[in-house]
Chain A
């Protein structure tokens, strides 16, 4: 189930609370801000990303996630629009259903929350990104899933994708054991699920509350969230 609340916080420039794949994240974006001189870049904005866990202080686990997401976020933002400034993004994990230390299933929720906060904050972007989670089994096709722990089939590979507005892969993280064909399959399923809608035989619900009729695609979901913001 994917739910989204735009602008839950009043003081940051942009914020969003996003739940996906069993993880709830609140993202806040501030910027352009004044940048400490040693981080200042003469021709573009400095992008900072902080991830805070639900309990305790951030550990190397969060640092690792930060460094995975940061290049992607930096590439999304038109950094050349804000030279000598800082754009700061903070992702607070509110709730994680899985107790596992595995970072993989948290990535789509983090990326989705970051994207929404950036849109809410009105930061100039190159493109949008919609995350997807898929699983593959050897010799079989790939399936988009909402929650890996509830998926009933067998699988060997778990894949996370961030798909841009043009249907390209900006972020990917996969774990398990799979061949390049399965990865390509998962990638195609993710792009299709976001750009064109899922095939009929898929019983998984990706976005929205699926009130009968056609499945909402990832892009339609993002458009819907933004349309709501505009009208409010």
Chain B
């Protein structure tokens, strides 16, 4: 910015009003809150990044750019850039302690409650790394920061609790041949299969879970300029939507699961719904020296790094408008650090999120 902003000098005791003129960058460095406030009180209000308060940064999406992962995506919104790669690994049920009980519990509660095997068995493992130098606060050689850990947990919550990935998609089944009735009654098995057999004695095989695909979701934030979660979440969703799992079969002779190298036999991972994360911050000038009399507050969509530092109140919503019958479903809503936004104002947040959802949906739907 080459323009200069005039700021009246603070010396109110003297009668002569002197005016100091200095570059915008100095103004920003000295009093960031007043700098942001000066922008927002323009008509129409504008943010230092030239966005309107309700504007999100336009997203850019690239998929399958990593050749060695099953699915990957690169998302960039403004100066925040995120790479996500999905790597499947196979775990046999023999290596999962207590698997039989967990499987039984989930089959008994089938229909009533959501199958929570993805959570219990840890079949989706997200990891977030904030790359060294992606932001000024990221210094090399340190343990994962609390911010990175929180992001990883939120991704996990979204993938596991939100039912985005179905456990059926990760199961590796084997049709176990059944020899005679005695053997089958000796073995532990579900009631449904028993009944089936009584009905039709000719059934010679029985579907059995022999293993699972575990999806490692590795998230690398290469550049961080505010609102990392929105980009991370969109990139994760895009990566999962492009994930291709090979056909896996159990070989009873080798006693292990083998994967088919054929591309034609591989299948796409089925991702349910289209939850999109939208983050907002509330700017309260009255929290800062010299702006105490300003009663007005501003809701800023998709805040950048400077805005995040100045705004304590954060609202983060995950909305899904893909189900036309239910309309807008809010899957998650988090608000902390302030009390400006109440029940009435939340409508504005959700309305804004719906618009953002349409924007992301346009990009992600085609994958």
Contacts and interface: CB of A to CB of B under 8 A. Distances in A.
Interface of A: 60-61, 63-64, 66-69, 71-72, 74-75, 101-103, 138, 157, 164, 166, 168-180, 183-184, 187-188
B204 interface: no
Contact of B153 (A61, A138, A175, A188): A61
B335 A67 contact: no
A49 B220 CA distance: 27
Contacts of A174: 330, 332-334
A68 B346 contact: no
B104 interface: no
Nearest to A184: B343
Interface stretch (B31-39, B84-92, B142-150): B142-150
A178 B338 CA distance: 23
A183 B330 contact: yes
Nearest to B330: A178
Nearest to B126: A60
Interface in B310-357: 312-314, 320, 326-339, 341-344, 346-347, 350
Interface residues of B, number: 36
Given A60-B153, A71-B314, A180-B350, A187 B329 contact: no
A169 B350 contact: no
Given A67-B146, A171-B336, A177 B153 contact: no
B328 A179 contact: yes
A168 B161 contact: no
Report, nearest first, the 4 A-B pairs whose CB atoms are least far apart. A71-B337, A64-B153, A168-B339, A60-B149
A169 B335 contact: yes
Contacts of A184: 343-344, 346-347
Interface string B275-312: 00000000000000000000000000000000000001
B119 interface: yes
Contacts of A169: 335, 339, 341-343
Contact of B334 (A63, A168, A170, A173): A173
B59 to A, nearest CB: 24
A64 B155 CA distance: 11
Contacts, number: 101
Given A175-B331, A180-B347, A74 B337 contact: yes
A174 B350 CA distance: 14
Nearest to B128: A60
B152 interface: yes
A178 to B, nearest CB: 5
B312 to A, nearest CB: 6
B268 interface: no
A183 B336 CA distance: 16
Interface in B137-166: 146-147, 149-150, 152-154, 156-157, 161
A172 B335 contact: yes
B147 A168 contact: no
Contacts of B153: 60-61, 63-64
A188 B344 CA distance: 10
15 contacts: A61-B153, A63-B149, A63-B150, A63-B153, A71-B314, A71-B336, A74-B312, A74-B337, A138-B326, A173-B335, A177-B320, A179-B330, A183-B343, A184-B347, A187-B342
Contacts of B350: 180
Nearest to B162: A175
A75 B331 contact: no
Residue with the highest number of chain B CB atoms closer than 10 Å, among A60, A101, A169: A60
A217 B158 CA distance: 34
A68 B334 contact: yes
B143 to A, nearest CB: 11
B154 A64 contact: yes
Contacts of A157: 330
A162 to B, nearest CB: 9
Contacts of A63: 146, 149-150, 153
Contacts of B331: 175-177
A64 to B, nearest CB: 4
Contacts of A74: 312, 337
A101 B121 CA distance: 12
A175 B71 CA distance: 28
A173 B161 CA distance: 14
A170 B339 contact: yes
B6 to A, nearest CB: 26
B161 A102 contact: yes
Contacts of B146: 63, 66-67
A177 B326 contact: yes
A174 B333 CA distance: 5
A72 B333 contact: no
B147 A170 contact: no
Nearest to B151: A64
Contacts of B335: 169, 171-173
